[in-house]
Amino acid sequence: MASDRDIDQELVVRVQRGDKKAFELLVNKYHRKIARLLSRMIRDQAEIEDVTQEAFIKAYRAIPSFRGESAFYTWLYRIAINTAKNYLASMGRRPTLSTEYEDDEGETLDAAAQIPDLNTPETELMNRQIVSTVNEAVEALPEELRTAITLREMEGLSYEDIATVMNCPIGTVRSRIFRAREAIATQLRPLLDTVSTNKRW
Protein backbone atom coordinates (compact mmCIF):
# COMPACT_ATOMS: atom_id res chain seq x y z
CA MET A 1 0.00 0.00 0.00
CA ALA A 2 2.73 2.44 0.94
CA SER A 3 3.71 4.65 -1.93
CA ASP A 4 7.33 5.57 -2.46
CA ARG A 5 6.17 8.97 -3.56
CA ASP A 6 5.51 12.03 -1.52
CA ILE A 7 2.22 13.92 -1.29
CA ASP A 8 4.05 17.25 -1.13
CA GLN A 9 5.75 16.64 -4.46
CA GLU A 10 2.49 15.46 -5.99
CA LEU A 11 0.92 18.76 -4.93
CA VAL A 12 3.91 20.78 -6.16
CA VAL A 13 3.60 19.16 -9.59
CA ARG A 14 0.03 20.41 -9.69
CA VAL A 15 1.01 23.89 -8.54
CA GLN A 16 3.56 23.97 -11.34
CA ARG A 17 0.73 23.19 -13.75
CA GLY A 18 -1.09 26.30 -12.57
CA ASP A 19 -3.23 24.88 -9.75
CA LYS A 20 -3.31 27.48 -6.97
CA LYS A 21 -5.63 25.33 -4.87
CA ALA A 22 -2.90 22.73 -4.56
CA PHE A 23 -0.61 25.41 -3.16
CA GLU A 24 -3.22 26.38 -0.57
CA LEU A 25 -3.25 22.75 0.57
CA LEU A 26 0.49 22.98 1.14
CA VAL A 27 0.10 26.27 3.01
CA ASN A 28 -2.61 24.74 5.17
CA LYS A 29 -0.31 21.88 5.99
CA TYR A 30 2.80 23.93 6.78
CA HIS A 31 1.76 27.37 8.04
CA ARG A 32 1.89 26.47 11.74
CA LYS A 33 5.27 24.79 11.33
CA ILE A 34 6.68 27.81 9.50
CA ALA A 35 5.29 30.13 12.17
CA ARG A 36 6.96 28.07 14.87
CA LEU A 37 10.26 28.24 13.00
CA LEU A 38 10.01 32.01 12.53
CA SER A 39 8.98 32.56 16.14
CA ARG A 40 12.57 31.91 17.11
CA MET A 41 13.68 34.84 15.01
CA ILE A 42 10.72 37.21 15.45
CA ARG A 43 8.88 37.72 18.71
CA ASP A 44 5.71 39.53 17.78
CA GLN A 45 2.77 37.32 16.79
CA ALA A 46 1.40 39.69 14.16
CA GLU A 47 4.83 40.04 12.60
CA ILE A 48 5.34 36.28 12.60
CA GLU A 49 2.09 35.80 10.73
CA ASP A 50 2.88 38.56 8.25
CA VAL A 51 6.32 37.16 7.50
CA THR A 52 4.87 33.64 7.26
CA GLN A 53 2.43 34.89 4.66
CA GLU A 54 5.17 36.71 2.79
CA ALA A 55 7.34 33.58 2.85
CA PHE A 56 4.56 31.50 1.29
CA ILE A 57 3.97 34.09 -1.42
CA LYS A 58 7.70 34.09 -2.18
CA ALA A 59 7.63 30.31 -2.28
CA TYR A 60 4.74 30.43 -4.74
CA ARG A 61 6.60 32.82 -7.01
CA ALA A 62 9.71 30.64 -6.78
CA ILE A 63 7.91 27.34 -7.33
CA PRO A 64 9.28 26.97 -10.91
CA SER A 65 12.73 26.68 -9.34
CA PHE A 66 11.69 23.73 -7.18
CA ARG A 67 12.92 20.65 -9.00
CA GLY A 68 12.30 17.99 -6.42
CA GLU A 69 15.95 17.55 -5.56
CA SER A 70 15.24 18.14 -1.88
CA ALA A 71 12.14 17.67 0.21
CA PHE A 72 9.59 20.42 -0.32
CA TYR A 73 9.59 21.42 3.36
CA THR A 74 13.40 21.80 3.35
CA TRP A 75 13.12 24.15 0.39
CA LEU A 76 10.22 25.97 2.03
CA TYR A 77 12.02 26.37 5.37
CA ARG A 78 14.99 27.91 3.60
CA ILE A 79 12.76 30.49 1.91
CA ALA A 80 11.03 31.24 5.22
CA ILE A 81 14.33 31.80 7.02
CA ASN A 82 15.64 34.08 4.26
CA THR A 83 12.36 36.00 4.25
CA ALA A 84 12.63 36.52 8.00
CA LYS A 85 16.27 37.60 7.78
CA ASN A 86 15.43 40.12 5.07
CA TYR A 87 12.50 41.36 7.07
CA LEU A 88 14.61 41.87 10.19
CA ALA A 89 17.34 43.55 8.15
CA SER A 90 14.79 45.93 6.65
CA MET A 91 13.64 46.77 10.17
CA GLY A 92 17.23 47.35 11.31
CA ARG A 93 17.12 44.34 13.62
CA ARG A 94 19.36 41.34 13.86
CA PRO A 95 17.85 37.86 13.89
CA THR A 96 18.16 36.07 17.18
CA LEU A 97 19.85 32.68 17.18
CA SER A 98 20.45 33.10 13.46
CA THR A 99 23.40 30.74 13.31
CA GLU A 100 21.17 27.83 14.18
CA TYR A 101 19.34 28.20 10.91
CA GLU A 102 22.23 27.78 8.52
CA ASP A 103 21.75 24.04 8.27
CA ASP A 104 20.18 22.92 5.00
CA GLU A 105 18.44 19.96 6.58
CA GLY A 106 14.80 20.63 7.35
CA GLU A 107 14.80 18.00 10.07
CA THR A 108 17.48 19.78 11.97
CA LEU A 109 15.69 23.07 11.68
CA ASP A 110 12.42 21.56 12.74
CA ALA A 111 13.92 19.69 15.66
CA ALA A 112 15.71 22.80 16.83
CA ALA A 113 12.58 24.89 16.89
CA GLN A 114 10.94 25.34 20.24
CA ILE A 115 7.43 26.14 21.31
CA PRO A 116 7.12 29.78 20.36
CA ASP A 117 6.11 32.75 22.32
CA LEU A 118 2.86 33.30 20.45
CA ASN A 119 1.17 35.17 23.16
CA THR A 120 -1.62 37.32 21.87
CA PRO A 121 -4.73 36.56 23.91
CA GLU A 122 -6.66 35.22 20.93
CA THR A 123 -4.08 32.77 19.66
CA GLU A 124 -2.97 31.71 23.13
CA LEU A 125 -6.51 30.85 24.12
CA MET A 126 -7.19 29.08 20.84
CA ASN A 127 -3.95 27.17 21.08
CA ARG A 128 -4.76 25.95 24.58
CA GLN A 129 -8.27 24.98 23.59
CA ILE A 130 -7.18 23.08 20.50
CA VAL A 131 -4.36 21.25 22.24
CA SER A 132 -6.46 20.30 25.26
CA THR A 133 -9.40 19.22 23.07
CA VAL A 134 -7.16 17.04 20.92
CA ASN A 135 -5.36 15.52 23.90
CA GLU A 136 -8.62 14.76 25.69
CA ALA A 137 -10.01 13.19 22.52
CA VAL A 138 -6.89 11.03 22.16
CA GLU A 139 -7.16 9.91 25.80
CA ALA A 140 -10.77 8.90 25.23
CA LEU A 141 -9.93 6.70 22.23
CA PRO A 142 -10.02 2.91 22.43
CA GLU A 143 -6.52 1.64 23.04
CA GLU A 144 -5.86 0.27 19.55
CA LEU A 145 -6.86 3.59 17.94
CA ARG A 146 -4.82 5.60 20.44
CA THR A 147 -1.74 3.45 19.84
CA ALA A 148 -2.08 3.67 16.05
CA ILE A 149 -2.50 7.46 15.91
CA THR A 150 0.27 8.00 18.45
CA LEU A 151 2.74 5.83 16.54
CA ARG A 152 1.87 7.71 13.37
CA GLU A 153 1.74 11.30 14.61
CA MET A 154 4.23 11.30 17.46
CA GLU A 155 6.71 8.69 16.28
CA GLY A 156 6.27 9.19 12.53
CA LEU A 157 6.10 5.45 11.80
CA SER A 158 4.93 4.20 8.40
CA TYR A 159 1.78 2.10 8.19
CA GLU A 160 3.95 -0.94 7.52
CA ASP A 161 5.97 -0.34 10.69
CA ILE A 162 2.85 0.25 12.74
CA ALA A 163 1.38 -2.99 11.38
CA THR A 164 4.49 -4.80 12.58
CA VAL A 165 4.40 -3.16 16.00
CA MET A 166 0.68 -3.81 16.47
CA ASN A 167 0.77 -7.21 14.81
CA CYS A 168 -2.11 -6.52 12.45
CA PRO A 169 -2.63 -6.03 8.69
CA ILE A 170 -1.73 -2.69 7.08
CA GLY A 171 -5.37 -2.20 6.09
CA THR A 172 -6.30 -2.36 9.77
CA VAL A 173 -3.69 0.28 10.57
CA ARG A 174 -5.10 2.54 7.89
CA SER A 175 -8.61 2.07 9.27
CA ARG A 176 -7.55 2.66 12.88
CA ILE A 177 -5.68 5.85 12.06
CA PHE A 178 -8.62 7.15 10.08
CA ARG A 179 -11.10 6.28 12.83
CA ALA A 180 -8.86 7.95 15.40
CA ARG A 181 -8.67 11.11 13.30
CA GLU A 182 -12.40 11.18 12.77
CA ALA A 183 -13.09 10.72 16.49
CA ILE A 184 -10.70 13.55 17.34
CA ALA A 185 -12.05 15.74 14.51
CA THR A 186 -15.58 15.28 15.84
CA GLN A 187 -14.46 16.90 19.10
CA LEU A 188 -12.37 19.53 17.36
CA ARG A 189 -14.93 20.51 14.72
CA PRO A 190 -17.06 22.85 16.90
CA LEU A 191 -13.91 24.70 17.89
CA LEU A 192 -12.67 25.05 14.32
CA ASP A 193 -16.14 25.95 13.06
CA THR A 194 -16.40 28.85 15.47
CA VAL A 195 -13.18 30.36 14.22
CA SER A 196 -13.79 29.69 10.55
CA THR A 197 -17.47 30.46 10.12
CA ASN A 198 -18.07 31.95 6.71
CA LYS A 199 -14.43 31.58 5.88
CA ARG A 200 -12.94 29.73 3.02
CA TRP A 201 -10.90 27.39 5.22
Partner 1 sequence: MQEKLSALMDNEWEDHELDAMLKTLCNEDGQRYWQEYHAISDALRTEPAMSSDFMTRFSAKLDAEPVVIAPNAIRQRSATWQPKRRWIALSAAASVMVVASAAWIVNRQSTDIQPTLAPASVVASAPAANEVSVAPYLLAHHETLGNPSWNGRLAMKAGLEVRRPAVKQQ
Q: Which of the residues 138 through 177 are near partner 1 (CB under 8 A)?
A: 138, 149, 152-154, 158-159, 174-175, 177
Residue 23 Cα distances to 28, 45, 100, angstroms: 9, 23, 28
Report the nearest approach of partner 1 to the CB of residue 201 (Å).
Answer: 4
* Amino acid at residue number 99: T
Q: To the nearest whole angstrom, how small is the minimum distance from the Cβ of residue 154 to partner 1? A: 6
- Residue 122 Cβ vs partner 1, minimum distance, rounded to whole Å: 7
Q: Among the candidate windows 19-27, 84-92, 94-102, 139-147, which touches partner 1 by CB under 8 A? A: 19-27
Would you say 9 and 72 are in contact if contact means Cβ atoms under 8 Å apart?
Answer: yes
d(CA 195, CA 160): 36
Nearest approach in angstroms of CB 92 to partner 1 is: 25
Chain center to CA of 44: 20
Reduce the secondary structure of 150-172 to three states and give it as a string. Answer: HHHHCCCCCHHHHHHHHCCCHHH
Residue 160 Cα distances to 34, 151, 169, 182, angstroms: 29, 11, 8, 21
Q: Sign of torsion, CA 81 73 67 25? A: negative
Q: Which one of residues 81, 109, 116, 141 is an interface residue with partner 1 (CB under 8 A)?
A: 116
Whole-number minimum distance, CB 193 to partner 1, in Å? 10
102 binds partner 1 (CB under 8 A): no
115 CB-contact burial (10 Å; exposed 0-12 / middle 13-18 / buried 19+): exposed
Of the pair 21, 92, the CB lying nearest partner 1 is at: 21
Of 80, 88, 118, 141, the one binding partner 1 by CB under 8 A: 118
The residues in 35-64 that bind partner 1, with binding defined as CB under 8 A, are 35-36, 39, 45, 49, 52-53, 56-57, 60-61, 63-64
Q: Residue from 93, 96, 97, 178 that binds partner 1 (CB under 8 A)?
A: 178
Provide the minimum distance between the beta carbon of 124 and partner 1 in the complex, in angstroms, as a whole number: 8
